[in-house]
């Protein structure tokens, strides 16, 4: 799991770097969301011990239980796929309200996230 988490971390860093260069106004709205998700990933990784060594590591703690190992590995793989997809569409975002159905869903999700952030206690 360490290698999968390290790959996800590298993809986050790479995607953040790509979105920080030659940024369009539409991409600028996504950059804070990307940075927020990267921060959440790092908090999760630290809390569960993905990068810890010895008995504190997630690999060690799940060594005898394959079901959670498979679940976490699948989630990390899915995260890598989504980050890779984000990397491939950079520069092809366009104005969010004028996008196809996928873009409208993204716009709805962005507005939901924004309103959820405003209503946090």
Q: Is the pLDDT higher at 95 or at 2?
A: 2
Q: Say how many residues make up the chain.
A: 121
pTM of the predicted structure, to 2 decimals:
0.69
Q: Residue 116's Cα: distance from chain center in Å?
A: 18
* High-pLDDT (> 70) share of the chain, %: 74
Q: What whole-number distance in Å separates Cα of residue 106 and Cα of residue 62?
A: 35
Task: Please classify residue 102 by burial: count the beta carbons closer than 10 Å to its beta carbon, then call 0-12 exposed, 13-18 middle and 19+ buried.
Answer: exposed
Q: Is the pLDDT of residue 2 over 60?
A: yes
Burial label for 83, CB within 10 Å (0-12, 13-18, 19+), is buried
Task: Return the structure tokens found at 88.
Answer: 């491939």
The 10s digit of each residue's pLDDT in 27-86 is 778 888 889 999 999 999 999 999 999 999 999 999 999 899 999 999 999 999 999 888
């Amino acid at each position: 799991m360490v290698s999968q988490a390290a790959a996800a971390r590298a993809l986050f860093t790479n995607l953040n770097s790509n979105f920080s260069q030659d940024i369009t106004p539409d991409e600028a709205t996504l950059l804070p969301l990307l940075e927020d998700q990267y921060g959440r990933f790092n908090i999760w990784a630290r809390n569960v011990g993905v990068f810890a060594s010895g008995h504190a590591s997630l690999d060690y703690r799940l060594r005898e239980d394959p079901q959670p190992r498979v679940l976490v590995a699948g989630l990390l793989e899915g995260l890598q796929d989504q980050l890779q997809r984000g990397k491939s569409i950079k520069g092809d975002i366009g104005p969010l309200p004028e996008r196809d159905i996928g873009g409208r869903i993204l716009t709805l999700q962005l507005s939901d996230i924004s309103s959820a952030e405003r209503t946090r206690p």
